[in-house]
């Protein structure tokens, strides 16, 4: 099961996007059939989708929309709780109006996710979900790892969250639930090398006892999770999710800023692990600000289509030259979110992580 595309209209920062239909993901020229889309539209690869862009362009928001849609596909969903998009953004707001684009409060507002055959559409304007009968029962297994490390807060967390309105969103709660699940009886053979790689770095395995996560070191010592370096905790969490059987064939992993608090020397290891998971049938969505981490995914992949890059950026007075005729000044809006996809980082339009690196190199050269 893979998510093929998403359409977003007037949700948070998303308004509209120019869309170029071509086979190589690059807007080289205007061809017959190219067109404007009414809403933001993005098509995903079945492998690793790397989402980059400056702050405030909707990277995390898009991950949460995809995650919310996959959660709604499960028949065991707790319908007694507010498991809509709002639930995954905050526990402290209860009005979908908060998620509507500020400049388009009165306009139609929705997002739609498809797997190529079925579609899930959440209308914030109608406070309802469309096509739910065909989506529920697909049971898409997905895990989202938020930027905030959560396992060190596990002590009594779930019980307190049930009783009180804790200041955590649904992705942060879910990751503790997923990590707390029992381990699978049998580990698939193709997952053993991945577990071994992680175990070597964290010098042990992860155990969950009496509401607390520990690293069980290879020499027998047991270290409370909160005492480990945060970068190693990220890897420990990934080990536990794999060991619990949550990242197997046809599952989906969404990971927000895996490079945060991670020693750059570990970037290639994490890239290799994600590439191995993808080869084992896991579709992956990663949002990152790191050129080095993204580049490791590019240079270590085995084929071009294993990794695709999606760059989000805000509209400006300068558009790609080949699009000037399609976008007269009167149709441009400052701060609208645009996207461009490519199989190589250097082919992306308005790539701000490369722009930032170039500015640094210029300063080094000037000195």
Could you read off the pLDDT tens digit of each residue along the chain, which spans 367 residues? 799 999 999 999 997 544 444 444 444 443 444 444 468 899 999 999 999 999 999 999 999 999 999 999 998 765 544 456 788 887 676 777 788 887 777 788 899 999 999 999 998 888 888 888 889 999 999 999 999 889 988 888 777 777 777 778 889 999 999 999 999 988 989 999 999 999 999 999 999 998 899 999 999 999 999 899 999 999 999 999 999 999 999 999 999 999 998 999 999 999 999 999 999 999 999 999 999 999 999 999 999 999 999 999 887 645 555 555 544 443 446 678 888 999 999 999 888 888 888 888 889 989 8
HEC string of the chain?
Answer: CCCCEEEEECECCECCEEECCCCCCCCCCCCCCCEEECCEEEECCCCEEEEEECCCCCHHHHHHHHHHHHHCCCCCCCCCCCCCHHHHCCCCCCCHHHHECHHHCCCCCEEEEECCCCEEEEECCCCEEECHHHHCCCCCCEEEECCCCCHHHCCCHHHHHHHCCCCCCHHHHHHHHHHHCCCCCCCCHHHHHHHHHHHHHHCEEEEEECCEEEEEECCCCEEEHHHCCHHHHHHHHHHHHHHCCCCCCCCEEEEECCCCCCCHHHHHHHHHHHHHHHHCCCEEEEECCCHHHHHHHHHHCCCHHHEEEEEEEECCCCCCHHHCCCCCHHHCCCCCEEEEEECCHHHCCCCHHHHHHHHHHHHHHHC
Say which CATH class 5-141+248-366 falls into. Answer: alpha beta
Contact predicate 339/18, CB 8 Å: no
Which pLDDT does position 321 carry in this prediction?
Answer: 55
Residue 32 has a pLDDT of 44
pTM of structure: 0.88
The pLDDT value recorded for residue 83 is 53
**What is the rounded distance in angstroms from the CA atom of residue 309 to the CA atom of residue 191?**
25
Q: Enumerate the β-bridge partners of residue 254.
A: 144, 285
The C-alpha atoms of residue 257 and residue 155 are separated, in whole angstroms, by 25
How far is Cα 127 from Cα 124, in angstroms, rounded to an integer? 5
**pLDDT of amino acid 316:** 65
337 is written with which tokens?
């979110």
Q: CA distances (Å), 52 to each of 319, 330, 357, in order?
A: 18, 28, 14
Beta bridge partners, 333, equal none
Cβ atoms of 99 and 34 within 8 Å: the answer is no
Q: Quick one: tokens of 293?
A: 């981490």
Do 185 and 226 touch, CB atoms closer than 8 A? Answer: no
In 26-105, alpha helices (H): 59-71
Q: Which residues contact 114 (CB under 8 A, 6 or more apart)?
A: 3, 4, 5, 6, 120
pLDDT value at residue 284: 98
Q: Where are the domains of the chain?
A: 5-141+248-366
The confidence score (pLDDT) of residue 23 equals 42
Q: How would you label 276-303 residue by residue, b for 16+ Cβ within 10 Å and e otherwise?
A: ebbebebbbbbbbbbbebbbbbbeebee
Q: Which residue has the tokens 């080289």?
A: 28
Instruction: Specify the pLDDT at position 81.
Output: 41
H helix intervals, 78-205: 132-135, 157-163, 170-180, 192-202
DSSP β-bridge partners for residue 112: 7, 121
């Amino acid at each position: 099961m893979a998510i093929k595309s998403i359409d977003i209209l007037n949700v948070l920062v998303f308004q509209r996007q120019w869309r170029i239909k071509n086979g190589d993901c690059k807007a080289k020229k205007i061809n017959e059939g190219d067109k404007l889309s009414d809403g933001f539209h993005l098509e995903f690869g079945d492998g690793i989708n790397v989402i980059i862009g400056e702050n405030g362009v909707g990277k995390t928001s898009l991950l949460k929309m995809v995650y919310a849609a996959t959660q709604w596909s499960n028949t065991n969903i707790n319908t007694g709780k507010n498991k809509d998009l709002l639930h995954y953004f905050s526990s402290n707001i209860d009005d979908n109006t908060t998620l509507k684009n500020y400049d388009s409060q009165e306009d139609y507002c929705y997002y739609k996710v498809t797997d190529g055959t079925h579609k899930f559409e959440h209308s914030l304007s109608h406070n309802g979900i469309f096509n739910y009968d065909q989506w529920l029962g697909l049971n898409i297994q997905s895990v989202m790892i938020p930027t905030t490390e959560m396992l060190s807060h596990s002590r009594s967390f779930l019980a307190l969250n049930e009783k009180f309105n804790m200041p955590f969103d649904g992705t942060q709660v879910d990751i503790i639930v997923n990590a707390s699940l029992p381990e699978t009886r049998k580990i698939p053979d193709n997952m053993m090398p991945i577990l071994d790689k992680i175990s070597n770095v964290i010098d042990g395995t992860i155990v969950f006892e009496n509401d607390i996560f520990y690293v069980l070191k290879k020499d027998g010592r047991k270290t409370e999770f909160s005492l480990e370096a945060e970068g190693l905790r990220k890897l420990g969490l990934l080990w536990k999710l794999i060991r619990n059987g949550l990242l197997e064939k046809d599952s989906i992993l969404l990971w927000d800023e895996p490079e945060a608090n991670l020693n750059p020397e570990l970037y290639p290891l994490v890239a290799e692990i994600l590439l191995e998971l993808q080869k084992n049938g896991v579709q992956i969505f990663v949002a990152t600000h790191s050129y080095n981490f993204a580049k490791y995914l590019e240079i270590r992949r085995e084929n071009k289509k294993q990794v695709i890059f999606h760059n989000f950026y805000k509209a400006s007075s300068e558009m790609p030259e080949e699009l000037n005729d399609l976008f007269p000044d009167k149709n441009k809006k400052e701060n609208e979110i645009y996207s461009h996809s490519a199989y190589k980082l250097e082919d992306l339009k308005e790539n701000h992580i490369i722009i930032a690196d170039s500015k640094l190199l210029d300063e080094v050269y000037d000195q």
